[in-house]
A and B are shown apart, each in its own frame.
Chain A
Amino acid sequence: MTNRKVRFNKRTLFTWLLLAGFIVLFSPQAITGKFQLLFASAFHWPLNLTRNLMLSAVTSQPVGGNAERAGLPYQNQIANLQARVDEVEKKYQQVAGFRAKHPFEGAKFITANITRATNSELIIDSGQKDGLIDGLFVFGDNGVIGTIAGVTAYTAKVRLITSSSCKLEVKIADKSAILQGDGRNIKIKTLPKTCPVQIGQQVFCQPKPGLLNTPIIVGTVSECRLSENPHLWDITVTPAADISALNSVGIIKY
């Protein structure tokens, strides 16, 4: 009796499992995404260990490469400060005597380690317990790398700017545009041809009330050509941060 095996009809078994698959597929992503976060949370320690091991093994270290990599956050910080100075100057011109606040005054800066990384998202080891909510901007090397899109108690999912589902309002050549990833690259396809765009030009994330008070660098223009629509540019942007080499990220919360 105790050794009796439970036998299923193959077709019934297959049908039920297939049905379960479809139910999971069409369930809201907010629910199913939690399973992925749960796995990352449960196996946080071995995942972190193996990821760091692999990262140190595959990261190429050319002569002078480390110095260049170490300088990246400072270059981005200079660009952010320059953008801030330009913006403040503009404000001074508009309103005499206007005293601008420090960009991150009153903001809480939360740092988190990356436990999992793919081309389009990151899983980090901070969550609701640290005050994270959906929509917060995530920084790497002092540049914007994505936004929070899914939080559990101890983990959160970061939707990277390279993700096809990430859309960010950015400023380029003093014009607003929408930046969107395509899985590998970041593209701007909404800028009219009349705007002067140059290779190497910096792209900044537009301030968002309650989430970001000042423009922060997202990347630089690496390719610029006319799109299928002859009135619009097809701009490729290289991220300001070396996302694949990041071990930790920062999140700004006001």
Chain B
Amino acid sequence: MRWIRFAILIIFIMLIQDGLLSKLRIHPDLLLIMLVFFAVHGTISDAIITSFAIGLASDLIASTPVGAGIISFGLVGTGLAYLQQTISLRKTPFQAIAIFVAGVLCAILILFLSYLKTPVAGDFFRLFVYSSLYSAVAGPFLFPPMKWLMSLFSENRRFY
């Protein structure tokens, strides 16, 4: 895994998500797409680390308590990486479904974990579900550029 490239990509996506997309009420969650991408394309160890890292990134730009995203994204990403060993998620429709399901699961977990600390906004879950739907539509189209970026200058076209 190219960790420096991963770090640059995650910061770039955080800036786009927080700066450009945050003004739209409902928008695709680029970090969720990134979570599914690394869970599907990486090894299990890489998927575990990237999932928790993406969760931390999500917490830094969200208004939910810090920690809820780390745990939720970590659990869902790891689960997805193990699932990938049984069911292949390389086809576009499966990837879209995986993004949507992962988004809903993350929303449920974040909502539950947030209630342990501070109650979050009433329509948080609804917004997250819509956001997951948008992500599911946009996600498969963002996978090829992500894959290209991560495997750039690599001889065997692999990034892990």
B113 contacts A183, C-beta separation under 8 Å: no
- Least distance between B108 CB and chain A CB atoms (Å): 16
**Pairwise interchain contact A46-B52, C-beta atoms closer than 8 A:** no
Q: Is the CB of A183 within 8 A of B65?
A: no
* A66 CB within 8 Å of chain B: no
Q: Which residues of A contact B16 (CB under 8 A)?
A: 50
Contacts of A120 in B (CB 8 A): 63, 121
A20 vs B56: C-alpha distance when bound (angstroms): 11
Contact partners of A7 in chain B: CB under 8 A: 45
Q: Is the CB of B71 within 8 A of A116?
A: no
Residues B40-66 near A (CB distance < 8 A): 44-45, 48-49, 52, 55, 59-63, 65-66
Judge whether A98 is part of the interface by a CB distance below 8 angstroms: no
Query: In the complex, which residue of chain A has the Cβ closest to the Cβ of B73?
Result: A21
Do B71 and A22 have beta carbons less than 8 Å apart? yes
Assembly CA distance A118 to B127 (angstroms): 13
Is B104 an interface residue when CB atoms closer than 8 A count as contact? no
Residues of B within 8 A of A153 (CB): none
What number of A residues sit within 8 Å (CB to CB) of B? Answer: 45
A interface majority secondary structure: helix
A173 contacts chain B at the CB level, 8 A cutoff? no
Instruction: Tally chain B residues at the interface, Cβ within 8 Å.
Output: 41
Query: Within the assembled complex, what's the spacing in Å between the Cα atoms of A24 and B15?
Result: 23
* Residue contact B23 to A14, C-beta cutoff 8 Å: no
Asked whether, in the complex, the Cβ of A35 is within 8 Å of the Cβ of B119, the reply is: no
| A14-58 interface bits toward B, Cβ cutoff 8 Å, 1 = contact, 0 = none | 100110111111110100110110010001001111110111001
Using CB atoms, name the residue of chain B closest to A182.
B122
Q: Which residues of A contact B44 (CB under 8 A)?
A: 10
- The answer to whether B116 has its CB under 8 Å from any CB of chain A is yes
Is the Cβ of B15 less than 8 Å from the Cβ of A50?
yes
- Identity of the chain A residue whose Cβ is nearest the Cβ of B15 in the assembled complex: A46
Known contacts A39-B61, A46-B19, A51-B19; decide if A17 and B49 are in contact (CB<8 Å): yes
Q: Which of B14, B70, B118 has the most CB of A within 10 A?
A: B70
Among candidates B24, B49, B113, B122, residue contacting A25 with C-beta atoms closer than 8 Å: B113
Between-chain CB contacts (< 8 Å), 12 pairs: A13-B49, A18-B52, A18-B75, A20-B70, A21-B52, A25-B66, A26-B67, A29-B65, A50-B16, A116-B18, A118-B22, A165-B119
Q: B residues touching A (Cβ–Cβ < 8 Å)?
A: 11, 14-16, 18-24, 44-45, 48-49, 52, 55, 59-63, 65-68, 70-71, 74-75, 78, 113, 116-124
Interfacial residues, chain A to chain B (CB-CB below 8 A): 7-8, 10, 13-14, 17-18, 20-27, 29, 32-33, 35-36, 39, 43, 46-51, 53-55, 58, 116-121, 163-165, 182-184, 244
